[in-house]
Chain A
Amino acid sequence: MLIQSSNPLNGSALIFPALECIHIVGFALSIGTIAILDFRLLGLGLKRQSVAELAKDLAPWTLAGLAIMLLSGPAMFSSDPDMYYLNISFQIKMVLLLLAIVFNYTIHRRVTLKGALPQQSKLVACVSLALWMGVMAGGLFIGFVGDAIPR
């Protein structure tokens, strides 16, 4: 409550939608580049370059996008922490986000930089895509939970 009432973010009706737009650009950059890499693992897209090369070249863009998301996200959270904290979709999203980030910088990173058997690579790509799709769905459903869908 304390954060909420004194939070300058709640001072203007335009700040929250602006943060949402920044958040969308952030995930287009981060999840977009991760997806490009996953599609490469699945044999689609930038095939002239090796997976490792592509992974190295995309890494700074992924990180920049993640930074944008992880700055705009908590700012949005701070506008109404009680609501988010109790929102089942938000809770699921946070678990998936943690899993997705850890997966991205451990197994996914290892497979893209060092290589793996084709089947393993494809499995890793699918898991990565599924985790990030889950994160997006979780984020989007925050606004729909409690309305028509029970908490």
Chain B
Amino acid sequence: MSPLSFAQWIQSTGFFTDLRGSAYVYPIILTIHLMGIALFGGMILLVDVRLLGLGMRRYSVSDLVNQLRPLKWIGFIVMIICGLLMAGCKAEEYYYNTFFWTKMSLLALVGVHALVFHRGVYSNTAALDAALTMPGQAKLAAALSLLLWTGLVIAGRGIGYIEPPLDKIHAHLFANPGSLPRVL
């Protein structure tokens, strides 16, 4: 199954058809998605400014990272579930949406960021607190995290600004099977 036919199938399921058809459900999911962003984004910002030495300096890095971890997970899971629900509603449209793929790539980079800095920074907070100055690796992790999350907000908002003309795309595909039209 190609990604495109998967996208077409998932949005045609009864569940997502109903979701798309409701005037209230989609904005409500989007609102909860944004609440996840406020909660999760706020905590990311606090940890990052602490690592960069710009604020929250009365707190040890260990305190911030370890104590905020459960709340961060709650925010993250809420965001992901709402994100999946919204993506399922308009899966085929998003398949042609550049900002959607930008956002997915940035999310993959967030995963890479976590893998790369996990050992040296996020599970090494006791050493960071013991160090006389904040190691460069921790500052780099914080700066990259701020960049990635700002990029995610921008790409996420951008998704809503593109409405790929599905009927034109379908007409093109019908007339020229196998050749994808240039969108954007």
A residues touching B (Cβ–Cβ < 8 Å)?
Answer: 17, 20-21, 24-25, 27-29, 31-33, 35-36, 39, 44-49, 53, 57, 60-61, 132-133, 136-137, 140-141, 143-144, 147-149
Check A17–B38 contact: CB distance below 8 A.
no
Q: Which residues of A contact B38 (CB under 8 A)?
A: 27-28, 31-32, 35, 132, 136
Stretch from B8-16, B135-143, B151-159, B175-183 forming part of the interface with A: B151-159
What residue in chain B is nearest A27 (Cβ atoms)? B38
In chain B, positions 10-35 with a C-beta closer than 8 Å to chain A are 23-24, 26-28, 30-31, 34-35
Is B41 part of the binding interface, using a Cβ–Cβ cutoff of 8 Å?
Answer: yes
Q: A29-B42, A32-B42, A141-B27 are in contact. Are A17 and B158 (CB under 8 A)?
A: yes
Give the shortest distance, in Å, between A120 (CB) and chain B (any CB).
22
The binding surface of chain B is classed by DSSP as helix
Check B41–A32 contact: CB distance below 8 A.
yes
Check A140–B59 contact: CB distance below 8 A.
no
**Option from B34, B68, B161 in Cβ contact (under 8 Å) with A46:** B68
Is B105 part of the binding interface, using a Cβ–Cβ cutoff of 8 Å?
Answer: no
Q: Which residues of B contact A20 (CB under 8 A)?
A: 157
**Option from A39, A60, A140, A147 in Cβ contact (under 8 Å) with B31:** A140
In chain B, positions 58-101 with a C-beta closer than 8 Å to chain A are 58-59, 63-64, 67-68, 70-71
Q: A25-B150, A36-B42, A57-B58 are in contact. Are A140 and B71 (CB under 8 A)?
A: no
Check A28–B37 contact: CB distance below 8 A.
yes
Scoring B residues 115 to 156 as 1 if CB is less than 8 Å from chain A, else 0, what string do you get?
000000000000000000000000000000000001001100
Q: Which residues of A contact B41 (CB under 8 A)?
A: 25, 28-29, 32
How far, in whole Å, are A132 and B35 apart by their CA atoms in the complex? 9
